[in-house]
Chain A
Amino acid sequence: MKATREAYGETLARLGEENKDIVVLDADLSGSTKTAVFAKKFPERFFNMGIAEANMVGTAAGLAAVGKIPFVSTFSIFAAGRAWEQIRQSVAYPKANVKIVPTHGGVTVGEDGGTHQSVEDIAIMRAIPNMTVIVPADAEETKGAVTAAAAFKGPVFIRLGRNKVPRVFDEGHIFQIGKGCEIAAGTDLTFVTTGIMTAQAMQAATLLAPEGISARVVHIGTVKPLDKELVLKAARETGAIVTAEEHSIIGGLGSAVSELLAERQPTPLVRVGIKDRFGTSGKAEELLKYFGLMPEDLVEAARSVLARK
């Protein structure tokens, strides 16, 4: 078990050694986002911008305009939310080489409550042209995603989490922007998932097996651009889809998959996610239950979609 933000801090510090153009900006949360690991190693390339996210994003755009590769971190609600227009105008519109890598995405932020739980960030980032949106499943994928983002020229948004999460990918897993992966074979339906919900889907598939239901699990690390071929193949071959994300059912992965399938391959589909509500205080595990994001909820969704097949 390891938090994606832990992997982020370590990876940044490693990349900072290899590439002197990498600079990091944070808005007074470097201990939480783990950019402090980089800051300690490369203090001259770390800029604490104070509690001023809009300016932080604009500053990153300026750094990119003179050839630097800025990584910008804070909590996701303050990056995607507070600084949305700066990300749109100063980063995405000019295709600035800025990496927005917030932590504390979703409801598993926990006790801080609804004000601090971003459940719309994937949707509002996905809506911006030129933006790449990545939601890693675990620490290993985070390592790959951050490394790939540094090598990629253009804006990237990588949504990370606060809590320790189970391993999904083996060490050395090769992450490719825009490529999803089938991580469990199955023929009756497919869980199409992102972020921490991939591990939940793996458990759900195990729970379904004794009932004779064969569930495929397709992890979508890059929500945008979506790996359309992989999703279409799953829809064609299994005939039923359950999407799952730690995010609103509006505008995120569930929407992306629905949009694709409605146009190209109409398929019975159920979206698992937060049902157009704000988050609330509680322990992460309690909140996953409260919002219906547990393996049991995925099993329920699987049964319901199979009934419509």
Chain B
Amino acid sequence: MDKDRIAFLEEKARDLRVSIVKTLHRSQSGHTGGSLSAIDMVTALYFQVMRHDPENPLWEERDRFVLSKGHAAPAQYVALADAGYFPKEDLMMLRRLGSHLQGHPDSKGTPGVEVCTGSLGQGLSMANGMALGLRLGNRQSRVYALLGDGELQEGQVWEAAMAAAHYRLDNLCAMVDANALQIDGEVEKVMNVGPIGEKFRAFGWNVLEIDGHDMEAIVEALETAETVKGKPTVIVARTVKGKGVPRFEHKASYHGVAPNDDELNEALICLGCFED
């Protein structure tokens, strides 16, 4: 892949990280760690891989994105705002009464959000339904679903995994943001879900395992997924919760905590951004 393009996407992801911490600092409520671990994948989707049109959010031929780990909503919101779905000023209203930017993604109010997610375990089922419906309508659109690794503890995910393979949904690509942490601690200790790849393989999926912060690997995996026929693909992406800001990295305690003033300044310095 073109080195300049990769550099552009990496720079975009850095900008969006800045936007995430600023947005969360402003709202003083929301999920920092999981938004930062997911943002590289979200960036690759919105700025490289997905066919979509911010001017026409309901364009029928668009690819669909389902943020099944809906608590990472800030990651999706900053990408949507940057892409032009709504004014960036809206981000400052995250989680406020009257704002379309709800605590978890809400298709009723936010342009570019396809379904309502946030209650973990339900997004892959909805992505399956979209993939089935699009195929039934002979649409070429693809469906992307981003799940957390802790989320895989929900039984419904495996019902959906079974169904996606059963119906040979090769227009579906799931991604697991495997940051290895959940609210109460390490995923492995709270309720081990591994080996994730082996489980999906046993359910009949094509499995790709990557570093979820390697932009080139992310784009390459998403492009490979598109060429696989007859079965759905899952990209198991190893990530770091809080990625980009050392203070937040590898810490379950920043799962659902927004940065305070000091943490914001520190984060902005770490992200190479010296303005307040």
A residues sitting closer than 8 Å to B (CB atoms) are 23, 44-45, 47, 49-50, 52, 54-68, 70, 85-86, 89-90, 93-96
**Would you call B131 and A62 a contact (CB within 8 A)?**
yes
State the CA gap A85–B125 with chains docked (Å): 13
**Would you call A86 and B128 a contact (CB within 8 A)?**
no
In chain B, positions 109-161 with a C-beta closer than 8 Å to chain A are 114-116, 118-119, 121-134, 136-137, 139, 155-156, 159-160
Expressed in whole angstroms, the minimum distance between the Cβ of A97 and any Cβ of chain B is 12
Contact residue among A45, A47, A67 (Cβ-Cβ distance under 8 Å from B167): A47
Contacts of A45 in B (CB 8 A): 136
**Would you call B133 and A55 a contact (CB within 8 A)?**
no
Contact residue among A23, A54, A93 (Cβ-Cβ distance under 8 Å from B116): A93
B257 proximal to A (CB < 8 A): no
Contact residue among A44, A61, A93, A96 (Cβ-Cβ distance under 8 Å from B125): A61
Q: Tell me whether A66 and B125 are in contact in the complex, defined as CB-CB below 8 angstroms, given that A50-B163, A59-B163, A85-B119 are known contacts.
A: no
Q: Tell me whether A63 and B130 are in contact in the complex, defined as CB-CB below 8 angstroms, given that A45-B136, A52-B159, A54-B159 are known contacts.
A: yes
Contact residue among B119, B123, B134, B166 (Cβ-Cβ distance under 8 Å from A66): B134
Contacts of B131 in A (CB 8 A): 62
A-B CB contact pairs (8 Å), 8 listed: A58-B125, A62-B129, A63-B129, A63-B132, A64-B129, A66-B139, A68-B133, A90-B115
State the CA gap A60–B125 with chains docked (Å): 8
Expressed in whole angstroms, the minimum distance between the Cβ of A261 and any Cβ of chain B is 33
Contacts of B119 in A (CB 8 A): 85, 89
Contacts of A66 in B (CB 8 A): 64, 129-130, 133-134, 137, 139
Contacts of A85 in B (CB 8 A): 119
State the CA gap A50–B139 with chains docked (Å): 26
Q: Tell me whether A86 and B136 are in contact in the complex, defined as CB-CB below 8 angstroms, given that A58-B156, A58-B160, A95-B108 are known contacts.
A: no
**Would you call A94 and B115 a contact (CB within 8 A)?**
yes
**Would you call A86 and B106 a contact (CB within 8 A)?**
no
Contacts of A58 in B (CB 8 A): 122-126, 128-129, 156, 160
> B interface, by DSSP: helix, strand, loop or mixed?
helix
Contacts of B139 in A (CB 8 A): 66
Closest to B70 in A: A89
State the CA gap A93–B119 with chains docked (Å): 11
B107 proximal to A (CB < 8 A): yes
B93 proximal to A (CB < 8 A): no
B162 proximal to A (CB < 8 A): yes
**Would you call B136 and A54 a contact (CB within 8 A)?**
no
**Would you call B159 and A61 a contact (CB within 8 A)?**
no
Expressed in whole angstroms, the minimum distance between the Cβ of A103 and any Cβ of chain B is 21
B106, B123, B124, B156 — most chain A CB neighbours (10 Å): B156
**Would you call A62 and B125 a contact (CB within 8 A)?**
yes
Expressed in whole angstroms, the minimum distance between the Cβ of B162 and any Cβ of chain A is 7
State the CA gap A62–B126 with chains docked (Å): 4
Q: Tell me whether A60 and B129 are in contact in the complex, defined as CB-CB below 8 angstroms, given that A65-B115, A90-B115, A95-B108 are known contacts.
A: yes
State the CA gap A66–B59 with chains docked (Å): 11
Contacts of A96 in B (CB 8 A): 115
Q: Tell me whether A62 and B163 are in contact in the complex, defined as CB-CB below 8 angstroms, given that A90-B116, A94-B108 are known contacts.
A: no
State the CA gap A67–B66 with chains docked (Å): 16
Contacts of A94 in B (CB 8 A): 106-108, 115-116
Contacts of B166 in A (CB 8 A): 50
Expressed in whole angstroms, the minimum distance between the Cβ of A91 and any Cβ of chain B is 9
Contacts of B122 in A (CB 8 A): 54, 58, 86, 89-90
Contacts of A93 in B (CB 8 A): 106, 116
State the CA gap A94–B128 with chains docked (Å): 17
**Would you call B136 and A44 a contact (CB within 8 A)?**
yes
Contact residue among A61, A68, A95 (Cβ-Cβ distance under 8 Å from B136): A68
State the CA gap A60–B132 with chains docked (Å): 10
**Would you call A63 and B159 a contact (CB within 8 A)?**
no
State the CA gap A58–B156 with chains docked (Å): 9
Contacts of B129 in A (CB 8 A): 58-66, 70
Contacts of A60 in B (CB 8 A): 129
Contact residue among B106, B136, B156 (Cβ-Cβ distance under 8 Å from A55): B156
Closest 8 CB pairs of A and B: A62-B129, A58-B125, A55-B159, A66-B133, A62-B126, A52-B159, A59-B129, A63-B129
Expressed in whole angstroms, the minimum distance between the Cβ of B130 and any Cβ of chain A is 4
Expressed in whole angstroms, the minimum distance between the Cβ of B117 and any Cβ of chain A is 8
Q: Mark B63-76, 1 if CB is under 8 A from A, else 0.
A: 01010000000000
Contacts of A95 in B (CB 8 A): 108
**Would you call A90 and B108 a contact (CB within 8 A)?**
no
In chain B, positions 74-115 with a C-beta closer than 8 Å to chain A are 106-108, 114-115
Expressed in whole angstroms, the minimum distance between the Cβ of A88 and any Cβ of chain B is 8
Expressed in whole angstroms, the minimum distance between the Cβ of A179 and any Cβ of chain B is 27
State the CA gap A65–B108 with chains docked (Å): 11
**Would you call A52 and B162 a contact (CB within 8 A)?**
yes
Expressed in whole angstroms, the minimum distance between the Cβ of B185 and any Cβ of chain A is 25
Contacts of A50 in B (CB 8 A): 159, 162-163, 166
